[in-house]
């Protein structure tokens, strides 16, 4: 009986850790977790840090009235994402509590990407262009979302038009980099994201930042970038973790 209780406690800790880890990933992707989901982890002292919603347009600031110079800056970012086809490299995620996770990523337009978190996380994020799945390889379960629920919908489409499809809340530019804070005008996508594009020696994606309404930020920084001519399409296919759909949560 004592052994059984230990196993149950171990499983509870893994589930608790998984929930807080899932929320950190959701925030990094620009999601607003639904109220039902955040309520479920409200007693988790770690997950509680993730209950706050990601900035929406109302919280992120008023839509800017762009100057001609700012429009040029937006067009530079547009051009980068429109010319982007494939991208791969490494990422580092820094959460508001300064927890650091790392891994490798792959991007293939339109809308496909994969983030493999390094141990001990053992989480994989896969987007096939329509649905995004967050898989936990330890617990052998997954949460599935529509890609339209994230700001990446407008950044990784074939024809990126930020002036048409995005609310622009903030623009910063220097000789070395540009940052632009956007949210999708589509009401389905509720998150906002600050995208950072480096300019030297040529345009490249530096990373992005999401901030919750309490001012806590999650940062994703990219490194070791390369632009392969071909990426194996199988990387963006979800692999079944189990024989049935009992452990799949659609959102």
Residue 165, exposed/middle/buried by CB under 10 A (0-12, 13-18, 19+)?
A: middle
Answer yes or no: is pLDDT of 222 > 70: yes
Question: Of the ranges 37-41, 83-87, 160-164, which one carries the lowest mean pLDDT score?
Answer: 37-41
What is the dihedral sign for C-alpha 249, 235, 224, 183? negative
The per-residue pLDDT for 26 is 60
The per-residue pLDDT for 145 is 83
Which pLDDT band, with edges at 50, 70 and 90, does 195 fall under? very high
Answer yes or no: is pLDDT of 232 > 50: yes
Whole-angstrom Cα distance, residue 149 to residue 14?
27
Whole-angstrom Cα distance, residue 146 to residue 123?
18
The per-residue pLDDT for 239 is 77
Answer yes or no: is pLDDT of 31 > 70: no
Give the model confidence (pLDDT) of 40-58 as tens digits.
333 332 222 222 234 444 4
Token pair recorded at residue 242? 């189990």
Architecture of domain 54-250: Clam (2.50)
Answer yes or no: is pLDDT of 32 > 80: no
Which pLDDT band, with edges at 50, 70 and 90, does 251 fall under? low
DSSP 15-31: HHHHHHHHHHHHHHTT-
pTM listed for this prediction: 0.73
Q: For tokens 């799945």, name the residue.
A: 133
Give the model confidence (pLDDT) of 98-126 as tens digits.
989 999 999 999 999 999 999 888 888 89
214 vs 225, higher pLDDT: 225
> What is the domain partition of the chain in residue ranges?
54-250
Give the model confidence (pLDDT) of 123-137 as tens digits.
888 999 988 888 887
What mean pLDDT comes out for the span 202-219? 84
Whole-angstrom Cα distance, residue 107 to residue 156?
9
């Amino acid at each position: 009986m004592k052994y059984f209780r230990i196993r149950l406690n171990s499983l509870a800790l893994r589930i608790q850790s998984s929930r807080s880890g899932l929320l950190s990933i959701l925030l990094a992707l620009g999601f607003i977790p639904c109220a039902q989901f955040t309520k479920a982890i409200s007693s988790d002292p770690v997950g509680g840090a993730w209950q706050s919603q990601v900035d929406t347009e109302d919280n992120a600031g008023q839509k800017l009235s762009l100057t001609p110079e700012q429009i040029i800056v937006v067009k530079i970012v547009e051009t980068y994402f429109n010319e982007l086809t494939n991208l791969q490299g490494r990422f580092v995620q820094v959460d508001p509590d300064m927890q650091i996770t790392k891994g490798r990523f792959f991007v293939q337009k339109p809308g496909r990407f994969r983030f493999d978190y390094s141990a001990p996380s053992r989480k994989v994020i896969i987007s096939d262009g329509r649905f995004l799945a967050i898989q936990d390889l330890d617990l052998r379960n997954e949460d599935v979302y529509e890609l339209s629920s994230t700001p990446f919908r407008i950044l990784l489409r074939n024809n990126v038009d930020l002036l048409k499809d995005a609310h622009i809340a903030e623009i910063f530019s220097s000789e070395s980099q540009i940052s632009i804070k956007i949210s999708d005008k589509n009401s389905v996508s509720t998150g906002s994201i600050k995208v950072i594009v480096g300019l030297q020696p040529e345009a490249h994606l530096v990373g992005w930042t999401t901030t919750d309404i309490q001012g806590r930020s999650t940062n994703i920084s990219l490194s070791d970038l390369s632009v392969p001519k071909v990426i194996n399409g199988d990387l963006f296919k979800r692999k079944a973790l189990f024989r049935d759909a009992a452990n799949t949560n659609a959102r």
